[in-house]
Every structure is written in structure tokens, then in C-alpha cells.
Amino acid sequence: MGKKGRSQMAKKEEFNSIVVKDAEGNKYTLRFTRREVERMERNGFKVDTDKPNTMIRDLFRGAFKAEPSSRFVSDQKIDEIWKFQSKKDELLTALTKLYMKPLEDLMAEPEDASEENPTWETV
């Protein structure tokens, strides 16, 4: 694969939201903010496979809550939208990546960080 092909694939992997459609063709933007992820975690949400039915449902529902235009969609409607989606395994992977993005942003090193000159120390 050429250099251009790899960079296009890398760009495709980076995303900040997902757009899904319902059976009527209405579009909904899904995303996670740090505030929404914190709310979900306080309510006991964990990305794991111990309770896959609950985890998938809560992850999909949570992605609606961070977007102002989708925030007030009912859980019943969200469940209907989930049932309508194709390629659910790929959608679940994308949702999980989206959910992890606020953590990655929180833990990102500053651009001017230096290993030779850390900004903290233990004493």
C-alpha cells in the first residue's frame, strides 16, 4: 500500500462522531464528551464483556446524550434505532473508540513535553 493510501486510512480511523439513521431516514449524531463519559461511569457503566447486553445498550444510549440535537430522544426510540442498524459489530467498535476518545485526550502529553525536563517529581 502506498504512502497516500496509508494516510487516508489513518484519517478514516480518526473521527469525533458517528451519524446513524432511523427507519424513517432521520439522522442522529452520536458522540461522547468527557462530561458524558464521567456521568456514565458514575452510574456504573464499564466497557467490558461481563454484561454485553447492558453494555451495548448503555453505550449506544449514552452516545445520544452528549449531542444537544439528540439528547432528548427517548430510550425506546434509541432501542428502535439500534435494531435498524446494519453491521452492528463495526458500529460497536466505532462507539467504543468514540467512548475512549475523551480519556485519550485527557491523558495526551503536551506537545512541548520533554522527558529530560518533566513538569513534576516525587519527593
110 within some domain: no
pTM equals 0.78
CA 100 – CA 64 distance, rounded (Å)? 15
CA 113 – CA 67 distance, rounded (Å)? 32
10 within some domain: no
Q: How much is the pLDDT for 6?
A: 45
Q: How much is the pLDDT for 9?
A: 43
Cα-to-chain-centroid distance, residue 81 = 17
Does residue 26 contact residue 70 with C-beta atoms inside 8 Å?
no
Reading the chain (123 residues) residue by residue, the pLDDT tens digits are: 555 554 444 445 678 999 999 999 999 999 999 999 999 999 999 887 777 888 999 999 999 998 898 889 999 999 999 999 999 999 999 999 999 999 888 888 888 777 777 777 888
Which residue range forms the structural domain that includes residue 66? 16-103
64 within some domain: yes
Q: How much is the pLDDT for 46?
A: 87
